[in-house]
């Protein structure tokens, strides 16, 4: 016992120092997390650039950062600014009474009255009540988005610092990432085989979630917003944002496209409805069936219900970052229990 006492005390000291370190950098953990995720996602591009520029290490890293800015940062910033402008304008119209979401949804729900009347027990809730409830939810959602604009403006310095730190960390993650992983594997006292499997799982889910999830969701949301704007649907970019969120989930953006097309059909806007359905069938479904699987590949390897629950939980806990962090935590949870099961089976033989 006396021989183990110094070692146990040292482990306790390491634990205290580690916890203190994470508390120290807690305000910058988000920047560190996204630096790691972006380094994982764009590592294949970095490797290809290294093959062309074998005599220098810095140039491939810098070119990879430029690719990240063009492919990832600029589209997200553009969409964010468009959503902020649209939500602010629309909320001002709601406050002034120029637009009444409750009446808008009531008018559209009345188109479905023949269908509602055939559903048992639906008469317990009137169309006015449903329209008012949906309109209130929509108004609150628009209000929330509009309120984020001054918050972002007030925290502009913090955002600049986070972005700068992310790219600063990203530079070293791209350049030294493989060395750092080998170093961590050698230091963590779990067992190299288990650690390698966990790192592979983390990498594959992060890459699959961002490539096949976030990128495809943004593409579908942009297409949806532009098509809605083209056919004259109000707040097109807000609907595009909702499509981005739904596209990240297994349910998909069909929950927006199909009702919108049905409403246009019932309103007699046949051509506009056909345009929506055509784009949905020919473009959105094609992206889901062909582009998403090729981007994800076999990276995630999780059932749809687990992806759905973990994504929703991640959103609740970590906001936008939860789109990526939620599935990663779920994948590590499944992997850890899978490893434990294999170890137990091996020990019983």
Interval 38-57: pLDDT, tens: 998 888 889 899 888 888 88
Kindly indicate the confidence band of residue 1, based on its pLDDT and cuts at 50, 70 and 90: very low
Helix H segments across 69-187?
74-96, 101-110, 113-117, 127-154, 156-187
Structure confidence by residue, pLDDT tens digits, 15-28: 899 889 889 988 88
Task: Say if pTM beats, i.e. exceeds, 0.75.
Answer: no
For 299, other C-beta atoms within 10 Å of its C-beta total 19
What is the C-alpha to C-alpha distance for residues 239 and 233, in angstroms, rounded to an integer? 9
339 vs 349: CA distance, rounded Å: 16
Q: Which of 180 and 138 is assigned the larger pLDDT? A: 180
Going by the DSSP 8-state scheme, the letter that residue 211 receives in this structure is: I
Residue 76 pLDDT > 50: yes
Whether the CB-CB separation of 219 and 243 falls below 8 Å is answered with no
Average pLDDT over residues 147-166: 72
Burial of 253 (0-12, 13-18, 19+ CB in 10 A): buried
Long-range own/partner contacts, residues 224-231 (CB < 8 A, 24 or more apart): 224/253, 224/256, 224/257, 224/284, 225/82, 227/275, 227/276, 227/279, 228/260, 228/276, 230/275, 231/264, 231/269, 231/272, 231/275, 231/276
Among the residue ranges 30-34, 70-74, 84-88, 233-237, the one predicted with the least confidence is 84-88
Per-residue CA distances from 307 to 121, 255, 325, 348 (Å)? 33, 18, 11, 33
The pLDDT tens digits for 307-338 are 778 877 887 787 777 778 888 888 888 888 88
């Amino acid at each position: 016992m006396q021989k183990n006492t110094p070692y146990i005390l040292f482990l306790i000291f390491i634990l205290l120092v580690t916890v203190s370190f994470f508390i120290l950098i807690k305000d910058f953990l988000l920047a560190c997390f996204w630096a790691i995720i972006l380094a994982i996602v764009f590592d294949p591009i970095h490797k290809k650039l290294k093959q062309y520029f074998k005599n220098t290490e810095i140039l491939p890293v810098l070119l990879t950062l430029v690719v990240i800015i063009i492919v990832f940062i600029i589209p997200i910033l553009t969409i964010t600014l468009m959503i902020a402008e649209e939500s602010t304008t629309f909320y001002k119209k709601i406050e002034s009474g120029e637009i009444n979401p409750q009446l808008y949804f009531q008018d559209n729900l009345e188109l479905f009255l023949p269908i509602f009347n055939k559903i048992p027990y639906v008469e317990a809730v009137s169309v006015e009540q449903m329209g008012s409830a949906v309109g209130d939810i929509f108004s609150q959602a628009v209000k929330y988005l509009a309120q984020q604009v001054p918050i972002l403006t007030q925290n502009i310095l913090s955002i600049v610092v986070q972005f700068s730190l992310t790219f600063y960390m990203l530079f070293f993650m791209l350049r030294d990432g493989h060395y750092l992983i080998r170093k961590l594997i050698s230091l963590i006292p779990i067992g190299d085989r288990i650690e390698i499997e966990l790192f592979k799982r983390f990498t594959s889910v992060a890459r699959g979630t961002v490539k096949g999830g976030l990128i495809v969701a943004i593409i579908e949301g942009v297409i949806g917003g532009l098509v809605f704007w083209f056919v004259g649907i109000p707040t097109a970019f807000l609907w595009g944002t909702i499509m981005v969120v739904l596209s990240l989930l297994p349910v998909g953006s069909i929950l927006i496209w199909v009702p919108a097309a049905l409403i246009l059909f019932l309103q007699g806007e046949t051509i506009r409805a056909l345009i929506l359905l055509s784009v949905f069938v020919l473009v959105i479904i094609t992206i889901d069936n062909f582009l998403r699987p090729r981007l994800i590949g076999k990276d995630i390897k999780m059932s749809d219900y687990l992806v759905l629950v973990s994504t929703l939980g991640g959103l609740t806990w970590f906001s936008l970052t939860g789109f990526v962090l939620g599935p990663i935590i779920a994948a590590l949870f499944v992997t850890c229990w899978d490893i434990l099961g294999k170890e137990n089976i091996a020990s019983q033989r």
